[in-house]
Structure 1
């Protein structure tokens, strides 16, 4: 301690004055020693100053418990501002374990505050300050009476104390009174009165007041809509760190609501809100990068933010993330990961996600074990019963295939028939059930009608079945030329079954001219696409030279490929080739 400090420490009042000078110069370590001298001598100004110094931004290393210890000493001596500060600390989570101003009041003297408010202790000190006429204390007391536990809560008294605080022009009094009035605003007059209180609080630049005024002007609560005013208030609140205001500001800037569109600044504010934990903002940031436009699309960035939002419970983001994994946009394509996120969205009530997940399962792109235990059929059933046609289709498929529920083709037919009124896939499925007699009597005419309805939309599988029914005259006149034309149409789109069918049609025995050269060409195309029966037929054509010179070597290759895929007929052809080209049985060694 310097000589001047030692001299000052001989008198509590001098110590206080010297400490104030040192604190003003930023010499907090020296100031604290002198404040302690004055505080221990009972000077409440020094006790309060020490408490304030231990608060964040107060000059010393923040220590809320040490701050509370000094505030308590001043508060017990009647220092109203210290009573307010102490009440605030209790509201923000410090626990009153030992009510002794001369001890480590809040436990072991650590620097971390509790997380749960101590409303009973806050009530004591806020009431003392309020009854002493402190506008701050009155607002704090009203807050405790509004937000405290059931035994403490008293809305009528809270409104009274907020009014007293507001009458002294205290910003928090205006804010609290405005919130009470707005909650009970069942008339235009009450709405206007609440807005007036928010405007008074906003004059002191209270961020929450700016946010609420932003909502009022954006949503036209008792006023005409004014996006420009809303934007101004949201910006004031956002600058002070109000997360919801940052999200609102970002969304308005992005859409050009109340201003010219500014996607760059809009994305910046949305990102701040997202980092602060706002799932809707994270989803909007992701959407910005997924859609592109003013900013270039960046699916990798979109996936990051969709994941942030999805993990916070945002169901639309969960579905979007699932679709990114399904398509491989911005992430490695992974059907299992897609199923995980689609399931999470579906569990939260997203019927579209449930439908997408159901389609993945039906296509066999997801291992059943990865969705075991998920009530997939229940999601679909609820959606179906609510009148959702996609839900009806998916539930019908679950019943038809026994996915998550006992197979019941009769019930499946009922739901698929209902869905067929508006869902193309359901028209195709219901047509199949009628054709095969699954759950309903066989009815080729109705089957052909429903399959043709689906085919008219360009659905490839429906076109293939329509052509097959024309080929066999099921529900319609037999029409091989018409079937050929449909098969040709979808063969050009890469449908391997249609490519094989064209080979069979041109091979003879049908109501179109036989053309074995064309037949072999179609069989070759289908065989190259790994169609097992096409490989058998191509092997036979090449073996027998039905469309040109025989080629036994190539024939054996195709026949062996067909056999490897389970076409047992190829075994006979291979045996005949072996017999023709190696007719003498080989003798065993030693004969």
Structure 2
């Protein structure tokens, strides 16, 4: 600082302010700051504002948001509209709080700059004062608060008027806000005005405005359509660090929708967008890694987690799937259920259904059960037959609702229009008369539908009805064919049935050797009755092979499943 400047500092505060302003305009910020401080300590609002700016920007003094906020508050209290607008902006972004302003100067010296929740109430008061004092920046900020603040504060009409005044005063932020307000009205007649205001904001180098102008240019809204021009605008906004522009530019380079195709550059831009916090970009990277050949599930999990932690529902569901299947991450049912629950609680319909399905399988926490039926019902009422089937199961089992066989039958009947499992279950309900009047003929028809759909249990149930003539004409030959088809697919019940038929000679020639083979095949698959019959065959040598040790083993297995006959026969074995 020169001798003149030191003497100026000893003169009147207003003289110090004038000299500080001159020095600042000439880029001599270090020399200007002490003079600004002299005027500020005398209570001159403009000087207080300048000191605040110096602290906030680190101009001529080490940066300190806390000190900058303190001086802004003093300037705002002394009527500086510029200070009121800037302080309001800090409150809106959470970079300052009214509570922190009350700390003593000594306390602020040792406080690190942090970000808190937005303080819209304090911001509203300050922005209103600045706007009414004629600050174009304050007017734009007030428009933003009235548009995007808490619901009780919102007033679209008032926001429109403040944005309009700010734009008329030449404020770029006001032009951008005014354009968005016009767009919300949804009038095609406003397109040209919207484009004009967006262009003014873009000319002031606002990245968001450049991005919006790119969208208008791409689609020819209020401006001439120009794909190459749109690409240049997206590139400009992307290079200024706007994640949404980086994402759109990346997509365009991958699919060539705006000109030249360059997938590698496109993915690089999408990665930049994802790392900058664009959730759609992170989710897309997860999808691309899952669909790559070969899939890279580990990389996908990284991007899905980034998106999911930011609140992206589809990414949370995808991440849950990776944990539940163990793809790319260690299989973790609890973690998978957590992410499904996160997506479901935020309204993701598919995740709700997935979580409900897990609950039906006995997975999840007690609190999950309460929403299960409601989630299924919402989807079922929209025509989702799988959801209708699952809702039927909820009523049948009493999961999340009181058990109600009548309502279970109603939902299963609806789902039976297209879901083989529902056809099978509804047929069982009709056969047994649970929740509806028993109707063997209809049960047989629905078993036939499900069997045609390839459901093995339905094939076996239909075969049993054909064999005993329930619900229609008796047809042992057709029954045998169905049993054989199901047995060939590994159905233990069908194998047991074929063994029983060959053992009795009903529908098939009596053949104890063949019967024992079928009983053995079913017994190996855990069929209790087949284990009992195999034990008997081996005990008595009915197929020509007598094996007491093996017989005992199979009878013990059948007894363990609750077959009393097996236990009785075991008691006859010698100690």
Paired residues of 1:218 and 1:225 also in contact (CA < 8 A) = yes
Paired residues of 2:56 and 2:68 also in contact (CA < 8 A) = yes
Greater alpha carbon shift after TM alignment, 32-41 vs 442-451: 32-41
Greater alpha carbon shift after TM alignment, 348-357 vs 473-482: 348-357
Match among 518, 533, 544 for residue 548 of structure 1: 544
Q: Does 1:410 align with 2:410?
A: no
Q: Does 1:522 align with 2:518?
A: yes
Q: 1:321: which partner in 2?
A: 319
Structure 1 residues 319, 77: closer, same or farther in 2, change over 3 A?
Answer: closer
**Distance in 1 (alpha carbons) for counterparts of 2:465 and 2:528:** 22
Q: 2:202: which partner in 1?
A: 202
Deviation, 1:509, is: 3.3
**Which secondary structure does the structure 2 equivalent of 1:577 belong to?**
coil
Deviation, 1:272, is: 4.2
Q: 1:531: which partner in 2?
A: 527
Q: Relative to total residues, which structure has the larger helix share, 1 or 2?
A: 2
Deviation, 1:332, is: 4.0
Q: Does 1:147 align with 2:135?
A: no
Q: Does 1:165 align with 2:161?
A: no
Matches within 5 A, 1:109-188: 110=111, 111-112=113-114, 115-117=118-120, 118-125=123-130, 128=133, 130=134, 137-145=135-143, 147=145, 154-155=158-159, 157-166=161-170, 170-184=171-185, 186-188=187-189
Structure 1 residues 47, 533: closer, same or farther in 2, change over 3 A?
Answer: same
Matches within 5 A, 1:59-458: 60-68=61-69, 84=82, 87-93=85-91, 94=96, 108=108, 110=111, 111-112=113-114, 115-117=118-120, 118-125=123-130, 128=133, 130=134, 137-145=135-143, 147=145, 154-155=158-159, 157-166=161-170, 170-184=171-185, 186-188=187-189, 190-218=190-218, 221-222=221-222, 228-259=228-259, 262-292=262-292, 296-334=294-332, 337-362=335-360, 365-367=361-363, 370=366, 373-458=369-454
**Which secondary structure does the structure 2 equivalent of 1:442 belong to?**
coil
CA deviations on 1:509-553 (whole Å, 9 max, x unpaired) are: 311112222222222222222222222222222222222332222
Q: Does 1:570 align with 2:575?
A: no
Paired residues of 1:499 and 1:525 also in contact (CA < 8 A) = yes
Greater alpha carbon shift after TM alignment, 317-326 vs 418-427: 317-326
Deviation, 1:39, is: 6.9
Deviation, 1:207, is: 0.5
Paired residues of 2:140 and 2:173 also in contact (CA < 8 A) = no
**Distance in 2 (alpha carbons) for counterparts of 1:339 and 1:221:** 44
**Which secondary structure does the structure 2 equivalent of 1:374 belong to?**
helix
Paired residues of 1:210 and 1:237 also in contact (CA < 8 A) = yes
Greater alpha carbon shift after TM alignment, 46-55 vs 196-205: 46-55
**Distance in 1 (alpha carbons) for counterparts of 2:179 and 2:533:** 84
**Distance in 1 (alpha carbons) for counterparts of 2:70 and 2:214:** 40
Match among 436, 460, 467 for residue 463 of structure 2: 467
Structure 1 residues 384, 196: closer, same or farther in 2, change over 3 A?
Answer: same
CA deviations on 1:131-187 (whole Å, 9 max, x unpaired) are: xxxxxx424334325535579994465245324323xxx533433443343334524
**Distance in 2 (alpha carbons) for counterparts of 1:520 and 1:46:** 102
Paired residues of 2:358 and 2:364 also in contact (CA < 8 A) = no
**Distance in 2 (alpha carbons) for counterparts of 1:139 and 1:345:** 39
Give the TM-score normalised by the residue count of structure 2.
0.80
Q: Does 1:558 align with 2:554?
A: yes
Structure 1 residues 392, 173: closer, same or farther in 2, change over 3 A?
Answer: closer
Paired residues of 1:139 and 1:161 also in contact (CA < 8 A) = no
**Distance in 1 (alpha carbons) for counterparts of 2:378 and 2:229:** 44
Q: 1:133: which partner in 2?
A: none
**Distance in 2 (alpha carbons) for counterparts of 1:560 and 1:227:** 78
Greater alpha carbon shift after TM alignment, 420-429 vs 147-156: 147-156
**Distance in 2 (alpha carbons) for counterparts of 1:18 and 1:5:** 15
Paired residues of 1:226 and 1:258 also in contact (CA < 8 A) = no
Deviation, 1:292, is: 2.0
**Distance in 2 (alpha carbons) for counterparts of 1:466 and 1:98:** 76
Structure 1 residues 211, 458: closer, same or farther in 2, change over 3 A?
Answer: same
CA deviations on 1:62-107 (whole Å, 9 max, x unpaired) are: 21342355568889999xxx8536622332214678999xx97998
Q: 1:505: which partner in 2?
A: 501
Q: 2:12: which partner in 1?
A: none
Deviation, 1:209, is: 0.3
**Distance in 2 (alpha carbons) for counterparts of 1:69 and 1:575:** 93
**Distance in 1 (alpha carbons) for counterparts of 2:73 and 2:340:** 54
Deviation, 1:199, is: 1.6
**Which secondary structure does the structure 2 equivalent of 1:537 belong to?**
helix
**Distance in 1 (alpha carbons) for counterparts of 2:368 and 2:43:** 70
Stretches of structure 2 that go unaligned for 5 or more consecutive residues are 10-14, 147-152
**Which secondary structure does the structure 1 equivalent of 2:523 belong to?**
helix
CA deviations on 1:206-243 (whole Å, 9 max, x unpaired) are: 10101222333455544576555444333333333334
CA deviations on 1:461-481 (whole Å, 9 max, x unpaired) are: 222222222232223433333
**Distance in 2 (alpha carbons) for counterparts of 1:567 and 1:456:** 33
Paired residues of 2:172 and 2:201 also in contact (CA < 8 A) = yes
CA deviations on 1:354-374 (whole Å, 9 max, x unpaired) are: 444444444xx3247545542
